[in-house]
Structure 1
Amino acid sequence: MAHLHLDLFSGIAGDMLLSALTDAGAPLDPLREALARLDLPVSVDVEEVSHCGIRALHLVVEAPEEQPARNLPEITALLDRSGIPTRARDRAIAAFRELAVAEAEIHGTTVDKVHFHEVGALDSITDLMGCALALELLGVDTISSRSVPLGSGMVTCEHGRMPIPAPATALLARGMPVANPPVPGELTTPTGATMLKAWVSEWRDQPPGYDTVGTGAGTRRYIDHPNLLRVFLDSHGSHPWKSERISKLETWVDDVPGDVVAHLLSLALSEGALDAAAVPAAMKKGRSGHAITILARPADAERLARLMFRETGTLGIRHGVIERWILPRRQGTVETPWGTVRVKWAMVAPRDERPDPEHDDCAELARRHSVPLSTIRNAAIEAARQD
């Protein structure tokens, strides 16, 4: 289960990522063969360059400057004819679809009617298809990334002179952790943003582990800042879990009855909280109170904070973004002598799954058959281990 981490300290563009993946070991010949099958007037190569004394690879794509605008069905048809592996094709289409959704919102039209201009050009198609193919050749299953520097200043695009981020990039980057730009200019392009949107499943500052580093260079050069993108490849997967950033909301109250606290926790969970808990606390002046904590997706944090203010009357809520680790899991059912029980299996290590029977199912069977709960639970665990 190979994992790839993106270090976007100078932003991301399609050529930078493909250069870095090539430096990490992905060959370019399969991409050249796919382009040849499409009979497209484009060539691709890499050159070794140095940015601020750091060696990197830089992608060189040669394609005609004047090209027709293409829509999503046309690009999908190209990818279908390219002969690249199914997962690579699906990854590329997912990235183009995310961009089409953003462009449709910008232009007030539908996804299939959107015509790509900059990203529909042959060099951008080559970048996106090439990156998707390189990920497949490296065996990448999951992708994480550090926060994204969008850039600053102005950029010229099909809409004219616009402030950075460009309109499509601004929409695609919604919900992503954004970093301050280290240098002026457009650091994250629409092509780069759509790949992040479609392919990145977790955001973290550092890679969880790696055995290979690839470095790709952008075209622009700065005096005292290397315009590079690094990828960290963990070919075998150092751990089974994934990580994600979530919001933590916390308030301590000493004037809220316990039944109101219980109501808040129940309401928060029904409104989309990931978890909610209250712990008894000894507070100032010896008063008894509760430390209330709600975990939520960042997009839900403000809505749940308003719920906490409303239900508790608290004057303040502490908020922070934390990282949590999640084991891969699957769900199913098992049969016991007393009936069917739902089970979750958590992968604690490769080829090592831990079953956890659904309590409500076990409790219902225990009541129905007058059997100890532990007997039902143990039977379900044993059946799950045989699954």
Structure 2
Amino acid sequence: MKIAYFDCFSGISGDMTVSALLDAGLKIETLEKELKKLSLSGYRLEVNKVIKKGISATQFKVEIKEEGVERRFKDILDIFEKSKLDEEIKEEAKKIFLNIAQAESKIHQKDRDKIHFHEVGGLDCIIDITSTVIGINKLGIKEVYSSALPLGKGFVECAHGVIPVPAPATLELLKDIPTYSGEIESEMVTPTGAAIVSTLAKGFGGRPLMRIEKTGYGAGEREFPIPNLLRVSIGEKILKDEKLKDGYVSDDAILVETNIDDMNPEYYDYIMDRLFSQGALDVFLTPIQMKKNRPAHMLSIIVYEQNLKEILEVLFSESTTLGVRIREIKRLKLAQRSFIAETRYGKIKVKVGIVKGIIKNVAPEYEDCKKMAKQHQVPLKEVYEEVKKVAYNKLKPV
């Protein structure tokens, strides 16, 4: 599973988050194409390379041509509802704004639908939040983790006047999240940054066990005694019980099985999608014969123990089964690396299995290969061979 770790040693803001994701591999062309689906105008994106205390970073800015619109929560929801963004991106962005609305509602003692967003309702913040969600989605990140957050100190000017750092909305959004003041006299976590990290992050603290594949540095505008950067590391999550055995990755999982002979076979496609969405590692069907010679299927699911409850809920609510068999299993796997192969047909996702630095298997993404085979009118196997060649050349030992 691909995860991202936000190392917020200089805090976090909306523009810093987008900057870090761009630095980690998000293409600006992809971002611009997706943002057009919002049907908003009056802004221009600017992306530059900068140096902060000797560290190269990306700086993302949204230049507003003319603003002055005060939006309510409902207005922002309408923007997303009318957009052509993918549902997953749309819903995640709406969650972030919902959390902002609830925080502002509590602070101002007003109904959330009557709250007028000031800074966080501006066009630049809408772009920052939407761009962050687009970046997480397009980079294939499934979970986000974050360090504890340095809030800074002093005072900051906003639409309501001069207020203490951290801003009340920031504090409300970061309830139950580990924070500290730090030594810098400035606002280090903005309300937009707080909304993003409090909504997206699954956990806070030290860096999780992961195989780092990419690191991106996103630059903030202010100059601090330390590098004003958000560092984002992206890679494969390693479970605590994963270990190497003879060069292979070993872990423990649960195998859930159930025999079904009385269910409409059309249900299986939907049930399998639900199981994968709830954390199943693999789902498969085996034709079997049951009592009275009834043809049936054994539905098998491999899952980590922490997701077992959700898998059982899907099985008992969506299928006709009355019971399941559960047993612990041990798996041996190749160490895996995922990346985008730049082929003559286009960009194609690929997974590579490696043992002791030697490539043992290359698995191109079928849907990507199919799309390119159709687009270029070449045999599918040619696309597969091209991807494998690129993968071997990219990863071969020097």
After TM superposition, list the pairs within 5 Å mapping 1:124-203 onto structure 2: 124-203=125-204
SS at match of 1:25: coil
Contact 1:13 1:191 in 2 (8 A): yes
Cα distance in 2 for partners of 1:188, 1:147 equals: 11
Cα distance in 1 for partners of 2:127, 2:96 equals: 13
Equivalent pairs: percent with the same residue? 32
Where does the alignment leave 5 or more consecutive residues of structure 1 unmatched? 242-326, 337-344, 359-376
Deviates more, 1:47-56 or 1:171-180: 171-180
Match of 1:16 in 2: 16
Normalising by structure 1, we get a TM-score of 0.63
What amino acid does structure 1 have at the position aligned with 2:10?
A: S
Cα distance in 1 for partners of 2:328, 2:240 equals: 24
Cα distance in 2 for partners of 1:51, 1:45 equals: 18
Cα distance in 2 for partners of 1:354, 1:148 equals: 30
Structure 1 residues 349 and 221: alpha-carbon distance in aligned structure 2, compared to 1, 3 A threshold: same
Q: Output the aligned Cα RMSD.
A: 3.4
Match of 2:218 in 1: 216
Count of residue pairs the alignment pairs up:
270
Cα distance in 2 for partners of 1:106, 1:348 equals: 37
Cα displacement (A) at 1:334: 5.7
Deviation track 1:211-257 (CA, whole Å, cap 9, x = no partner) reads: 110000000012x31100000101x433388xxxxxxxxxxxxxxxx
Contact 1:45 1:59 in 2 (8 A): yes
Contact 2:107 2:169 in 1 (8 A): yes
Deviation track 1:296-350 (CA, whole Å, cap 9, x = no partner) reads: xxxxxxxxxxxxxxxxxxxxxxxxxxxxxxx9999x99689xxxxxxxx9x9995
Match of 2:303 in 1: 353
Q: Does 1:93 align with 2:94?
A: yes
Cα distance in 2 for partners of 1:31, 1:87 equals: 15
Query: For 1:381, which of 326, 340, 349 is the aligned residue?
Result: 326
Cα displacement (A) at 1:90: 1.2
Cα displacement (A) at 1:167: 1.2
After TM superposition, list the pairs within 5 Å mapping 1:320-331 onto structure 2: none
Deviates more, 1:81-90 or 1:52-61: 81-90
Contact 1:335 1:383 in 2 (8 A): no
Contact 1:35 1:82 in 2 (8 A): no
Cα distance in 2 for partners of 1:328, 1:229 equals: 35
Contact 2:50 2:57 in 1 (8 A): yes
Cα distance in 1 for partners of 2:279, 2:191 equals: 37
Normalising by structure 2, we get a TM-score of 0.61
Match of 1:27 in 2: 27
Cα distance in 2 for partners of 1:12, 1:109 equals: 27
Q: Does 1:109 align with 2:110?
A: yes
Contact 1:8 1:145 in 2 (8 A): yes
Cα distance in 2 for partners of 1:30, 1:348 equals: 28
Cα displacement (A) at 1:382: 6.6
What amino acid does structure 1 have at the position aligned with 2:326?
A: I
Q: Which structure has the larger Rg over C-alpha atoms?
A: 1
Cα displacement (A) at 1:107: 1.4
Cα distance in 1 for partners of 2:305, 2:149 equals: 38
Match of 2:357 in 1: none
Where does the alignment leave 5 or more consecutive residues of structure 2 unmatched? 242-251, 261-274, 283-301, 310-322, 330-398
What amino acid does structure 2 have at the position aligned with 1:217?
A: A
